[in-house]
C-alpha cells in the first residue's frame, strides 16, 4: 500500500492517534487503495463492493458506521457527525443505482470526506466535547434503517427484473 498523504493533524491523546491512524487506513482502503494504471487517479474497494447488490453497500456502510462511532468517541460535534452521516447516506443511495452508482462511488469518496471532517475537528481549538450517545445511536439507527430500505428495494427490483426476463 503506498503511503498516505501526511496530515497536518497529529493529536496529542495516544488513543486519538491510534484511532485516527485506523480511520485513515479504513478511508484509504474504501476510497483510494487501488491506482488506475496510466493515471494518478485512485479508487477504493467501496465501488467494487457496490457491484454486489445490497450486500456490498451494506458492508461498506458498516465500515463507515464504525468510523462514525470512533469519531464520536473522539469528541466530534453533533453537527459534524450529521455531516459525516449525510456523506454516507448520499454515497449509499447513489451507490445503490447499478453502474451509475458505482461510478458515483468512485468520485464521491465519502470516507475521505469524513476523514477530512474528523481532522478539521482535531485541528480546531474545541476538541473535547461530550458525546451524546443517544444522538449517536439515533443517527446510526437511522443509517441502518436507510440501508435496510435500500437492500429491500434492491431485492424487489432484482425480483422484478428476473420475473420480467424469465416470465415468472
Please tell me whether residue 13 adopts helix, strand or coil conformation. coil
Whole-structure pTM over 0.75, yes or no? yes
Give me 149's grid cell.
430500505
- Which positions ≥6 away from 91 have C-beta within 8 Å? 46, 60, 64, 104, 105, 108, 110
Give me 71's grid cell.
469519531
Percent of the chain residues topping a pLDDT of 90: 39
pLDDT band at 72 (very low <50, low <70, confident <90, very high): very high
Q: Please write the tens of the pLDDT for every residue from 104-134.
A: 888 999 999 999 999 998 887 665 567 788 9
Kindly tell me if the per-residue pLDDT of 4 is higher than 70.
no
Question: What ranges in 74-132 are assigned the alpha helix state H?
Answer: 78-95, 100-108, 110-123
How far is it, in rounded angstroms, from Cα 40 to Cα 42? 7
Q: Please write the tens of the pLDDT for every residue from 6-61.
A: 455 666 678 888 999 999 999 999 999 999 999 999 999 988 888 877 678 788 88
How far is it, in rounded angstroms, from Cα 75 to Cα 11? 12
Structure letter (DSSP) for residue 105: H
Give residue 64's Cα distance to chain centre.
4
From residue 75, alpha-carbon distances to 36, 80, 118, 152 in Å are 36, 10, 9, 34
Q: How far apart are the first and last CA of the chain?
A: 47
Amino acid at each position: 500500500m503506498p503511503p498516505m498523504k501526511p496530515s497536518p493533524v497529529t493529536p496529542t491523546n495516544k488513543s486519538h492517534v491510534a484511532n485516527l491512524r485506523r480511520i485513515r487506513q479504513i478511508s484509504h482502503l474504501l476510497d483510494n487503495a487501488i491506482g488506475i494504471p496510466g493515471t494518478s487517479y485512485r479508487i477504493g474497494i467501496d465501488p467494487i463492493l457496490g457491484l454486489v447488490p445490497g450486500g456490498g453497500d451494506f458492508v461498506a456502510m458498516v465500515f463507515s458506521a464504525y468510523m462514525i462511532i470512533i469519531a464520536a468517541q473522539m469528541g466530534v460535534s453533533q453537527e459534524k457527525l450529521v455531516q459525516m452521516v449525510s456523506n454516507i447516506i448520499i454515497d449509499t443511495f447513489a451507490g445503490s443505482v447499478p453502474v451509475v452508482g458505482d461510478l458515483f462511488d468512485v468520485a464521491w469518496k465519502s470516507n475521505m470526506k469524513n476523514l477530512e471532517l474528523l481532522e478539521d475537528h482535531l485541528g480546531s481549538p474545541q476538541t473535547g466535547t461530550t458525546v451524546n450517545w443517544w444522538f449517536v445511536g439515533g443517527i446510526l439507527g437511522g443509517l441502518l434503517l436507510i440501508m435496510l430500505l435500500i437492500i429491500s428495494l434492491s431485492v424487489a427490483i432484482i425480483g422484478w427484473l428476473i420475473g420480467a426476463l424469465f416470465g415468472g
